[in-house]
Structure 1
Amino acid sequence: MNPHPIRQPANELRSAHVEQDALVLVGRPLRPGAGVGPRFGDDIWDLCAAHHAPNTHLSGLRIRFDRIGDPFWRITAKEYAAARLTTPVDRGGQGLPSVATVAREIRILRALFTYLAEYHPGLCLADIDDDTVLDRFLIIATAGSSAKWQPHERARHAWLLTLLHRSGDQLTFDRLTHIPFQGRTARQISGRRNNRDNATPRIPPQVLAPYLRGALFYVQTASRDILAAVEERKRLDNSFIPSQRGEISQRLELFLRQRRNERRGLPAAPANVATRFGEQINLALIARMIGVRKEALKCSSHRCRILTAAAELGLEPGGMDSPISLNPDTAAPWRDRFDLPDLHIECRHLLAAAYVVTAYLSGMRDSEVQALRRGCHFTESSEDRILLRHKLRGTVYKGRNATGEAATWVVTEPVARAVAILEQLTDSEFLFTRFSHNRDQIDSLPAQEINVWLNAFRDRLAHVRPHDPIPEVNGRQWRFTTRQFRRTVAWHIARQPFGAVAGKIQYQHVRVAIFEGYAGTSASGFPSEIDAEREFARLDSILDQYEDYKAGVRTPARLIEQFDHIRAELGDFPGRIADTSRLRAMLANTARTYHPGVLNDCYFDPAAALCQRHHRADSPESAGPIINHCQPALCRNSCVTTRHEPAIRQVIADAEQLLAIQRLSPIQRAALHNQIASMAALLPVEGGRA
C-alpha cells in the first residue's frame, strides 16, 4: 500500500513551494571560496559553506536525502530543511537555526520515516490523529541513549515533531496536521527538569590537579624536546641524496663510528614493528639518518655490518638524535629518545596539553579555543605601565551570528607559552590541527575528536608521570570533555578563589586575567557563569547550615530566625518527610542575600549592616556587603559557624605572635589586644546553640 495518494513517478515529483534549482543557503553568510552551496533538487546537501565555527565534524553537515527511500517523504524532508534554513518557523523570534541544527533535525526526521515504515506501514504523516504513534516513536528512537541523556534526546525528538507540524504550510505531499502532545513543550514531554544548575560535570580537584600538572609539564618542559625532534625530522625528510654503492658504505661506516664514539646503541625498531616482522633494528630510521633508501641497507654486506654493530653496541629505544630533558620531579629523563612514528603521537599529546592549559586557564569555550589562529597572541602594557598583559585575539560564536564576533582575552603566561608552542608545531592557519601517524600534519581541525585526544593524554600521563597519578573516581577513570574545563574553572573561582593550580599558578591570578579579558563587553559570557556558580555555592552553604541547624549544631542567631520560620512552614520535624524541592526553593530565597566568607558569613540586610553606615542608600555599594568594612563581632548580619573557627584561631595566633615583638608602641599593642578580644568573641561557646 502506497501511503501517499499522489501517483507520480519519483523523477517527476516537484515541490509546490521551492524550485528545483533554488539555492538552499541563500541569505546566509558563506565561507570564502566555499561556493554557493547545494540546490534544492540535489539529493545530497553539503552545508559546510555556511558553517563557520571550527569545532564541528564536517561530515555531520552533509544531509543524505538519498537515504530516504520513499520519494514523497524525500521531498517532504527537503521542503522541511529548506524552510528551516530560510524561514524562522519556531515562532520564538530566535532567528534562523544553525546549519548543524538543521542537519541534526533531518537525521531525526529520517528516523521518524524509518519508524513509520517499519511499525506502521502505509501510514503517512497526515493520517496521524493522536499521540499514540508519536509517543512510541520517542520511546524507540531514544532507547539507545544513556539514562543521563535520554530526557535530553527525547526533548530534541519532541521538538522536531512540533517544528514539523508548524512547517505544514511549506510541505507539498505530506504534513503533520495533528498538534503533537496537545501543544505541550518539549521539556514537559521529555520529563526534563527545569534545573538551573549546569549539567556539565566539573572535574574533581583530585583528578584535575595531576592532569593539569601533566599538561603544564608538557608545555613547559617536554615541548622543547618534541619541537627539537620535529626539527630533526624535517632535516631527515630533506636528507636523501642519490648515492653510489661506495658512498652508501661510507655513510654507514660514518654513522656506526659516531654511535661508537657517543657510546650509543643502534636505533631499536618500535615494539609493534619488531613483534610483527621479527626485526629488532630500525633500518628505516638508520637509512633516513644517513640519507639513503631503506632498500639500500638490505644487501648482505650492509646488513652484516649493521648486525655486527648491534651486537657490539646494543640497541637504543627510539634512536633519534634529539636529547631528552630531565623531569624536574624525578631528575630522570621523562622518556626514551624519539622514533618517527612515536614523534607523531607525542605531537598529538603536546597539542592536547596545550589545549588543556589554554581552555582551563582562560575560561574559553571549545569553539573559541579551536578558532585561535596564528598570530593571535600579543602583549600590552597596563595603564600604569607596570604590568605586561598577555592577550589573545579570537572569535566568539555562541549567541552571535554565524560568522561569530571578534573578541580579546587576557590570559596568563602559560597560555601564551602554549600558543607559542602551537605556532612552532604547525604551519597551518589554525593552531589546533589534526596530526597523522603516516604523514605530515593535515590542515584540518580536530573538531569533537579533541575529546578522544584529551583522554589519550590522560592515559599517556600514567606512563610519563607515574609519580603523580590521576586517581579513579568511583572505580573508573575520569572521562574528560571540552566543556568541563570552563565549568570547573568557574566553580573554583566562585568557591575557592585562593586555591593553587599546580603549586605555582593561583586561581586569584587566573581570575583577574579572565575578568579583565571579559570586562566591558563580556564577550563570552564568563562573568555570568561565575555569578551562577556563586549562587549555587551560596545555596549549597545554606543547605549545609540548615542540616546542621536541624542536627543541633551551633547556628548563628541571624540564621535561626529564618530557619525556624522555614521549618515551621514545611513541618520539617522528626518523623515527617519534608518536600525537598520546596525546601530548596525556600532556602534559595535566603541564599540570594547570603555571602560566605573566611572569618564569617554575611546574611545581608542593608538596614542592619554596619558596613553601610558611611554610604548613601542609593549608592552602588548599598547593593551588597562591603567586605573591607566588615565588623564580624558587632554586626547583626554576621554569621559565624564552626567552619570559620580555624581561620579565626589563626588570626588570633598571628596577633599573639606579633605581641612578642619588643619594639611595639603602646598604641600598636592596644590594637592587637583589641583584635584578639574581637576575634575571641567570635569563637563558639561550649554547649551553646548560638
Structure 2
Amino acid sequence: MTYNLSQRASDIDENVVVLSQRTLRPDSKNAALSRFKDAVWDLTPGIFEDHAQKYSINFALFPPAWERAVKSYVWILINEEAQRPIQGGPSAPAQLALSTIARLPTHVRRLIVWFEEHGYSSLQRAIPKVLDRLLAEMGEAGLSFTQKRQIITETRRLWAYRDVVPAQLRLPESSPWQEETAGNLLSQRSRKPGNLTARIGDETLVPLLWWALRFVEDFAPDITAVYREYCALLSSGHRHMPAGAREAPTPGARKPVLRATLERLRGLGLGLPGQPDFGGKLVVNWTHLARLTGYLGHTHAVWDREIVEESGLHIEPKSYLTTRCTAQLDGRLWHGPFIDWEDAIPLALHLQTACFIVISYLSGMRPGEVLNLRRGCHSVNPRTKLDELRGKRWKSTRNIEGTKIPEGQHRENPWIVQPLTAKAIDVLEGLHDMDLLFPRTLRPQAVRWANHRTDGRAGNGQTSPKTTGDIGHFTRWVNEYCARHQRKDTIPEDPDGRVTPTRFRRTLAWHIVRRPRGLVAAAIQYGHVSDLVTQGYSGSYQSGFPNELAMERWLERIEGIADVDSYLEGGGHVSGPAAQKLRERTRHATAKFAGRTIPTGRQADKLLKDPVLQVFKGDGIHCVFDLLSALCTREADGPNLGACQSACTNIARTDTDILEVKATRAQVCEDRFAPPIRYERGRQITDRLTRIIHDHEDGQR
C-alpha cells in the first residue's frame, strides 16, 4: 500500500510494512518484515552492506503517550523520497540512509523526555523561551557537544516536518533558534580542524604490521593446512552432515582403521590424543581419536580399549591435528611440530586478522570496503602488470536524484595495490571456500540440532566492531608468544587507545604525507605506497582518500609554518638566500590561517596552492618554493626535495637545519688513502657544509 505523506500521520495503517518504500535485500522475507504496530522496527532488511550490524528502533523506550506520534514521524522519514532541508543540514537534501535514521530516535527521545519531565504534553509549547531553557539545562546535563548539537539538529528536523507529523510533535511556526548555528548556541566550536581519527603510533604500528606480514608470508601455509584438516574432520561429524548423508560403516572395517590410525600417529611421533579429566588426570580424548578414524564419539572407548592400550602409545597433553608445521621464525620452527585441535580456529582467526591489517593499511581502503571483498576480487592487469582489487564502495554512492544507493556501487576503476596486499587476498582465498573473504565466522556451522542465529543481521560479513576485537586478540597472542619465547618484538599499547579499523586509513594518509625517515615497514617505502594509492584511486574525490591526503598535507604545512613562526617569535635565526622570504611567508601565513578550520579535504587541496604556504621542510633546509627560481624543477607544483641543489636561491636554514647539516658533515668520510678523485670529492663536500655552518653561525653574532 502506497501512502501520500501529506495525509494525516494518524491515518497510517497499523499493519503497513515499515520499509514499504525502501529497496530490500533479495533474501528478505515479507512475513518477517516489521509492521507499523510493532514495538521494535528492524531496519536491517534494507541494509545491503554485509559488514553492517543490526539496525533497529525500540519505541518502548519512549514515554507511552508519545509512542505512536514518534512512530508516525519515523515512518515518514523512512519512506519519504527526499528529506527536507534543515538549518545546518546538507545543501542538497536526499533520502536519509536507514543507518542514519536508526540513530535519530536517541536524540529525539532526549528532546521528548525533557518536555515530558517539564510537564509539557506536546512540542507545541516549544516557544523560544522554552527552547532557551532546554539549551541551558543541556549544558548542565553532562552531554557532549556532539550530543547537544544532535538534539538541536533533530529539533530543527521536526520543525521541517511540522506540516505532516502528528499534532503532538508539531512545533510552533517560528523556526527554532532562528539562524543561529549550534556552535554559537552552545558557545563552543563544532570541531577541531583536520581529521579527528587518531593515527596509530609508530611504536605500535611497526611491530603490528611486521607480525601481520609474518602470518601472511610465513605462517599462512601451516595455519591454512591445519584449518583445512580441522574442517574436514569436523564436517564428518554427525551434527555437520545432513540426515541420511552418512554412509553406514563397512562391517569389520573399524578395527583395521583404528590400527592404521594408531600406526600413523606412531609414524608421526605422536601419542594418543589426550585431555585432563575432572580431577586433572591425563586421559585419552576418545572423541578426537574417533575424529581421526572417522567414527563417532566414544565408539573406540566402548569397543576397542584393548587395541588402544596394547598400542603402547603414550597420552599426549593435548589433542593434536596431524598436519606438521614447517614454517620457521629466525631459524626455528615458529610453533611446535603439531597444533592442538582447540587452537585451529583461533589461529585461523589470527591469520584472517593479519590479512585485514595488511590489506587495510597498505591499500587505504575503508574498513567496509575491505570487509565486503569477495572471492575473485584480485587480478593482475596484463598490460600494466599491476595488482588490482575490484569490489564495492558505499560512501557517496548516490543516484541522479542525490539519494543514496543502498546496494552500493562497483568501482569503475579498481584499487591498485602493493603485491603484499595481493598476497593477503590470495591467503584468504586459500584459507576457506566462502564467497566473502571476511565471513562472520570461520567455524563450520552444524546443520543438525543447531541453534539459529540470534543477532538478526542480514549480512554474512564480519563487522567492524568484531574486527576491532580480533585485532586486540591478535595483539595479545603476539605478546604472549613473545613472552613464552623471550622475544623483544612485542606490540605495545597505542597511547590513543584501541587499534580500530578506521585508524589504518588515517595512518596511511599521515605516513604518505609525512614519510618519517627511518620508518620502513616490511621493507616498503612509503613513497612507493603513495604512488600505488594515487593510481588506485585514480585521483577521484569520490573515493575520499585524496581528500584525506589533502587534509594531511594541509595539516603538515600549517604545523611546519607554525613551528617556524614559534621559532622566529623566540628570536630564532634564519640564514640562506631565502631567509627574508621565509620570514615574510611565515608572518603572512600565520596572520591568514591562524585558528582557521578547514571543513573538507577539497578545500584543503585548493588552499595548499596559496603562495604563502609554499614552504617545505627538506634535509638540512627549508625550501621557500618559487618555481621561477627553483633549480630542482620547472614544471611541478612543488619542489623535488630529492634533487635540491646548493646554489638554489629558494633555500633558508634554521638552527634545526644546521644541526642536520652538522650530522651530515660528520658522516662524510675523509679517507686520505682513498683514490684522489674520491678523496677530493669528500673534501669538497666537507668544505661546502662547513661554509654553510659558519655562515649561519656568523649571522647570529
What range describes the TM-score normalised by the shorter chain of this pair? 0.7 to 0.9
Tell me the residue number matched to 1:490: 509
Would the alpha carbon gap of residues 108 and 85 (structure 1) be closer, same or farther in structure 2, given more than 3 Å must change? farther
Tell me the residue number matched to 1:207: 204
Would the alpha carbon gap of residues 461 and 228 (structure 1) be closer, same or farther in structure 2, given more than 3 Å must change? same
Partner SS, residue 165 of structure 1: helix
Contact 1:324 1:335 in 2 (8 A): yes
- Picking from 497, 505, 508, the partner of 2:527 is 508
Does residue 642 of structure 1 match 2:656?
A: yes
Tell me the residue number matched to 1:598: 619
Does residue 70 of structure 1 match 2:70?
A: no
Tell me the residue number matched to 1:389: 386
Does residue 177 of structure 1 match 2:171?
A: yes
Tell me the residue number matched to 1:469: 490
- Counterpart-to-counterpart distance in 2, 1:211 and 1:318: 30
Would the alpha carbon gap of residues 353 and 610 (structure 1) be closer, same or farther in structure 2, given more than 3 Å must change? closer
Partner SS, residue 298 of structure 2: helix
- Counterpart-to-counterpart distance in 1, 2:597 and 2:293: 76
Does residue 379 of structure 1 match 2:376?
A: no
If the length of structure 2 is used for normalisation, what is the TM-score?
0.79
Tell me the residue number matched to 2:131: 131
Question: Which one-letter code corresponds to 2:693 in the other structure?
Answer: L
- Shift, 1:209, TM fit: 0.8
Contact 2:50 2:460 in 1 (8 A): no
Contact 1:214 1:465 in 2 (8 A): no
Tell me the residue number matched to 1:49: 45
Q: Which one is further off, 525-534 or 369-378? A: 525-534
Contact 1:538 1:596 in 2 (8 A): no
Would the alpha carbon gap of residues 109 and 436 (structure 1) be closer, same or farther in structure 2, given more than 3 Å must change? farther
Q: 1:51-450 residue pairs with structure 2 within 5 A? A: 51-57=47-53, 59=54, 61-68=55-62, 70=64, 72-83=66-77, 85-86=79-80, 87-91=82-86, 92-117=91-116, 119-121=117-119, 123-129=121-127, 130-131=130-131, 134-135=134-135, 138=138, 143=143, 150-177=144-171, 179-189=175-185, 191-237=188-234, 242-243=248-249, 247-269=253-275, 280-299=283-302, 302-303=304-305, 306=308, 313-329=314-330, 331-334=332-335, 337-383=338-384, 388-401=385-398, 402=405, 403-407=407-411, 408-435=414-441, 439=445, 444-448=460-464, 449-450=466-467
Tell me the residue number matched to 2:540: 521
- Counterpart-to-counterpart distance in 2, 1:109 and 1:68: 9
- Shift, 1:127, TM fit: 2.3
- Shift, 1:627, TM fit: 4.5
- Shift, 1:463, TM fit: 2.4
- Shift, 1:532, TM fit: 1.6
- Shift, 1:333, TM fit: 3.0
| Paired positions, count | 638
Contact 2:156 2:176 in 1 (8 A): yes
Partner SS, residue 549 of structure 1: helix
Tell me the residue number matched to 1:458: 475
Question: Which one-letter code corresponds to 1:135 in the other structure?
Answer: L
Does residue 682 of structure 1 match 2:692?
A: yes
Of structures 1 and 2, the one with the larger relative CO (CA 8 A, separation 6+) is 2
Partner SS, residue 391 of structure 1: strand
- Shift, 1:125, TM fit: 1.9
Tell me the residue number matched to 1:5: none
Deviations 1:435-457 (A, max 9, x none): 26573799821212211111111
- Counterpart-to-counterpart distance in 1, 2:331 and 2:183: 53
Contact 2:10 2:72 in 1 (8 A): no
- Counterpart-to-counterpart distance in 1, 2:668 and 2:382: 37
- Counterpart-to-counterpart distance in 2, 1:459 and 1:189: 45
Contact 2:668 2:682 in 1 (8 A): no
Contact 2:390 2:415 in 1 (8 A): yes
Contact 2:284 2:315 in 1 (8 A): no
Tell me the residue number matched to 1:3: none
Question: Which one-letter code corresponds to 2:293 in the other structure?
Answer: I
- Across the aligned residues of Structure 1 and Structure 2, the Cα RMSD in angstroms comes to 4.1
Contact 2:415 2:536 in 1 (8 A): yes
Contact 2:18 2:35 in 1 (8 A): yes
Note the residue ranges of structure 2 that are not aligned, 5 or more in a row: 1-6, 238-246, 399-404, 448-452, 454-458, 599-606
- Counterpart-to-counterpart distance in 1, 2:383 and 2:686: 40
Q: Which one is further off, 372-381 or 301-310? A: 301-310
Note the residue ranges of structure 1 that are not aligned, 5 or more in a row: 1-12, 144-149, 572-578
Deviations 1:264-294 (A, max 9, x none): 222233xxx7569866443221110011112
- Shift, 1:561, TM fit: 6.6
- Shift, 1:674, TM fit: 6.3
Q: Which one is further off, 623-632 or 191-200? A: 623-632
Q: Which one is further off, 277-286 or 402-411? A: 277-286
- Shift, 1:375, TM fit: 0.7
Contact 1:221 1:325 in 2 (8 A): no
Question: Which one-letter code corresponds to 2:478 in the other structure?
Answer: L
- Shift, 1:111, TM fit: 4.3
Contact 2:540 2:546 in 1 (8 A): no
Question: Which one-letter code corresponds to 1:45 in the other structure?
Answer: W
Partner SS, residue 170 of structure 1: coil
Would the alpha carbon gap of residues 261 and 670 (structure 1) be closer, same or farther in structure 2, given more than 3 Å must change? closer
Deviations 1:366-403 (A, max 9, x none): 111112111110101455xxxx2111001222122223
- Shift, 1:183, TM fit: 4.3
Partner SS, residue 435 of structure 1: coil
- Counterpart-to-counterpart distance in 2, 1:211 and 1:70: 50
Does residue 34 of structure 1 match 2:34?
A: no
Contact 1:165 1:180 in 2 (8 A): yes
Contact 2:8 2:165 in 1 (8 A): no
Contact 2:322 2:338 in 1 (8 A): yes
Would the alpha carbon gap of residues 422 and 68 (structure 1) be closer, same or farther in structure 2, given more than 3 Å must change? same
- Counterpart-to-counterpart distance in 1, 2:248 and 2:462: 38
- Counterpart-to-counterpart distance in 2, 1:256 and 1:610: 78
Would the alpha carbon gap of residues 567 and 362 (structure 1) be closer, same or farther in structure 2, given more than 3 Å must change? closer
- Counterpart-to-counterpart distance in 1, 2:236 and 2:589: 83
- Counterpart-to-counterpart distance in 2, 1:350 and 1:329: 19
Tell me the residue number matched to 1:542: 561
Calculate percent identity across the aligned residue pairs.
Answer: 24
Deviations 1:51-108 (A, max 9, x none): 2333320x2x222335545254323333244235423123432312211000110233
Deviations 1:224-283 (A, max 9, x none): 1121012212332455664489644443333333333333222233xxx75698664432
Deviations 1:27-46 (A, max 9, x none): 65443343676555555433
